[in-house]
Amino acid sequence: MKLIAIDLDGTLLSRNKMISKENAEAIQKCQEQRHVIAICTGRSIVDIERLLLEANLQCPIIAENGALIYTNQKMMKRYPIQNKQAFEIVEYLEQNRMYYQLYTDRGVYVPAYGEESVNHEIEWIKRSNKDMDQQELEVIAALYLEHTAFHITESCKSILAEEIYVHKLLPFSYNIEKLQKLKRHFQHNTELAITASYWHNLEINHRDAQKGNGLYTLAEHLNIPVENTVAIGDGLNDISMMEKAHMSIAMGNAVDEIKKICHYETRSNEEHGVAHALYQYVIEKK
């Protein structure tokens, strides 16, 4: 029995943000052979459950970069950020009018100024004549702005004064210098883990809320030895699970940093790379 941790965006999901029939069938074949497929992603639990339902799949879940671990549709572990620390981060983001998403046990909150902030950044890029595709910028913006499950609020600071669990903060900006400055401001806080899934965001979690820790915790819970663990991913926030899994597989579209540390490379997410990897390295041929 193996435990296979699979990322979503850029990995299991194709460009249309769906799990392909080919990938779903490969996962089901793994499960038929009694292997455990776990979804390991920065996305919210609500997002993940919807995607799995659409693909007719049931899997353990390591959500929000490892802040939440679910088995049998019940939470078994949570690593929240202290509300005081979350308040300091939100205060910084709002003072600098940076768009962000606040992941909590009550859902995902975004500031009311968020869309205006993103549009201002797109205009800033146009004015500065940066060599960036405008259509691509708008597609990226839609990934952050178009979400029916968001709660829009004037400020998240008042929410953090209540009894609420904060799982993750996701700041977004096209201005890389802004993100680097934000990271430098908080990187000395040893209670936090700061990673990124794309060049245009940061993901801020509790220091123990990392995909690698989630993989270890789930493996221990299921009595699966570490030497029977596999990780498949593409982005920088997958590094911890790639380093801790016994076998690591980079997507064909993965960033170079991931490809350099992985044992194997599969096809891209547009070519059903997850299915290809499972058939090649996990599923036993009869």
- Give the residue numbers marked as catalytic: 7
How far, in Å, CA of 120 to CA of 138, rounded? Answer: 12
How far, in Å, CA of 146 to CA of 108, rounded? Answer: 13
Instruction: Give the pair of three-digit tokens for residue 198.
Output: 């794309």
Q: Could you tell me which residues come within 8 angstroms of residue 207 by beta carbon, excluding any fewer than 6 positions away?
A: 190, 191, 192, 193
Number of residues assigned to the chain: 286
How far, in Å, CA of 147 to CA of 142, rounded? Answer: 8
- From the list 30, 27, 10, 14, the residue with the least C-alpha distance to 258 is 10
Q: In this structure, are residues 199 and 180 in contact, taking their beta carbons and an 8 Å threshold? A: no
- The DSSP string of 158-174 is TGGGSS--EEEEEEE-S
- 239-278: buried (b, 16+ CB within 10 Å) or exposed (e) per residue? bbbbebbebbbbbebbbeebeeebeebbbbbebbbbbbbb
